[in-house]
Amino acid sequence: MAKQNKINNKANDIVIDNLKLTDNEIQSTSGDLILATDGTNNIKLKVNATTYADFFSSGAVNLPLQPSFFVYANANVLNQTGAGTEITVALNTEIYDITNNFSSNTFTAPVTGKYFLSACVGYSGLTSLMGATSLKISTSNQVYQVYNNTYLSTTTGTNGSHNACVITDMDAGDTASILFSISGGASNTADILGGPSTVPTYFTGHLIY
Amino acid sequence: MTQNSINNSSFGLTVGNISMGTNTMSSTSGDFTIEANASNSVVMKNGVTTLLSMNSSGIQTLPKQCGFIARRTSNQNDVTGDGTVFVPTFTAEPFDTNNNFSDPTFTAPVTGKYYFSVATTFTQIIAAMLTGTTKLITSNRTYTKHWNPFSAYTDTGSLNSSGQLFVIADMDAADTASISVTISGSTKTADFRGFAIVMSSYFNGVLIS
């Protein structure tokens, strides 16, 4: 006997206004919202064929369209700082940028929320006295600045790196970029490190909620 | 006129305390609602309060998820440098979504995994101050970052040096988190740094899952 629903013993789907109850799914009749199970006990929130949220039977949750990016410098950039010049760090390669919110070394928040931001800058070409580095995550609401003073004056020529992380509040349309400087030298002869294999200089972010 | 397909009524359908109507499934008491609104966003609400919002692009926010950032806006002078364990206090909160931070302590409202980001910046660092320890002290365990406050360049005394710590920590409901900093090797002359605009000393945490 063909399957029948238990409300009016008909084989039809049930439609209430623009909500339709059908096999494993509650959906709008226009298909722009579907709450579904997929036979493996996962729960999916979809718009038409696109999954927006995937709740696995284990309890893990995946949000494949949540804004997220990872960008890095793919080559060394010479003579950028050292005498205190502050630069906007150039990031020319994207590993991922889910909703295309990163452009021209700047991330633009697509919606209001809390964003995790993490930056790391690698550097080399230090000379004596280049001992103080400053890294800023500069957002529209706040500027986060931290300092790194490893004893570099005795390790001239070696590489170093400086990182910072924060979860910050951003409004839709707010921007974030990273600024970096090394001070103490006679001239701007310090280099920013880049490259695809070790990724010494990067900027990553993710909408947490 | 819109009619449902069960009883050809123009009303929505109520089963137990679950009501289904135009774009909405809700409890009849109104304390739980899932709706697809006119802009194709999916919204989960408690009464009129939005708990989860997913817009038509698939971007999700949880506007009531707990999270805070506390910052220092002015210096605290002569707080460590001789091994004194210094507990920073904070003077501003850019956000504290559920009021779970009461200076200098965060109290977890629910059991979960919490991301913490700590930046502790000092000035008046002199040559013998070679050991810095920044701790995040939670009820379950203490996380420690060792760092070197001094470099040749900071010997001028007026420059800044930061110790940072990032961690995702397990916390139970009502567990607490606070921070301490120790700088050793000299006299108690190191100043905890606060700026009016730039954030160099802050305590940041959010519930991740």
Give per-residue pLDDT as tens, A123-132: 988 887 787 8
Closest CA of chain A from B5, distance in Å: 5
Across residues B177-193, what is the average pLDDT?
A: 95
Give the pLDDT score at B30: 67
- With beta carbons under 8 A apart, name residues in chain A contacting B62: 209
**Cis peptide preceding A64, ω within 30 of 0:** no
Dihedral sign from CA coordinates of A87, A88, A94, A96: positive
Q: How does residue B4 score in pLDDT terms, banded at 50, 70 and 90?
A: low
Give the per-residue pLDDT at B155. Answer: 46
Residue A154: per-residue pLDDT: 45
Q: Is the pLDDT of residue A115 over 80?
A: yes
- In whole angstroms, give the CA distance from residue B66 to residue B61: 12
The residue type found at A28 is S
Cα distance between residue B125 and residue B151, in whole Å: 9
Contact A41, A28 (CB under 8 A): no
Query: Which residue would you say has higher pLDDT here, B69 or A183?
Result: B69
Nearest by CB: A18 against B23, B162, B202: B23
* CB–CB contact B2 A150 (8 Å): no
Q: Quote the ipTM score.
A: 0.77
Strand ranges in A18-126 using DSSP code E only, listed in sequence order: 19-22, 25-28, 34-37, 43-47, 50-55, 61-62, 68-72, 77-81, 87-88, 93-97, 102-103, 106-108, 113-124
Give the single-character DSSP code of A125: -
Q: What is the pLDDT of residue A22?
A: 78
3-state secondary structure of A154: helix
Query: Among B24-28, B38-42, B76-80, B85-89, whose mean pLDDT is lowest?
Result: B38-42
Rounded to whole angstroms, the Cα distance separating A159 from A33 reads: 52
Q: What is the pLDDT of residues B103-153, one digit of tens each?
A: 999 999 999 899 999 999 999 988 888 888 999 999 999 898 888 887 655
Quick check: A189 and A79 in contact, CB under 8 A? yes
Which chain A residues touch B54 with a CB distance below 8 Å? 45, 52-53
Distance from CA of B19 to the nearest CA of A (A): 10
A71 pairs with which residues across the strands?
A: A94, A203
- Per CB-CB distance under 8 Å, the chain B contacts of A36 are none
User: Are B198 and A63 within 8 A, CB to CB?
Assistant: no
The Cα–Cα gap between A27 and B20 comes to 12
Residue A151 has pLDDT above 60, yes or no: no
pLDDT score recorded for residue A9: 61
Q: Distance between CA A88 and CA B105 in Å, rounded?
A: 35
**Closest by Cα among B154, B208, B168, B101 to A184:** B154
Taking CA atoms, A124 is separated from B105, B109, B151, B154, in Å, by 39, 45, 17, 19
Predicted TM-score (pTM) of the model is 0.84
Amino acid identity for residue B128 in this structure = A
Q: Helix or strand or coil: residue A88?
A: strand
pLDDT of residue A153: 43
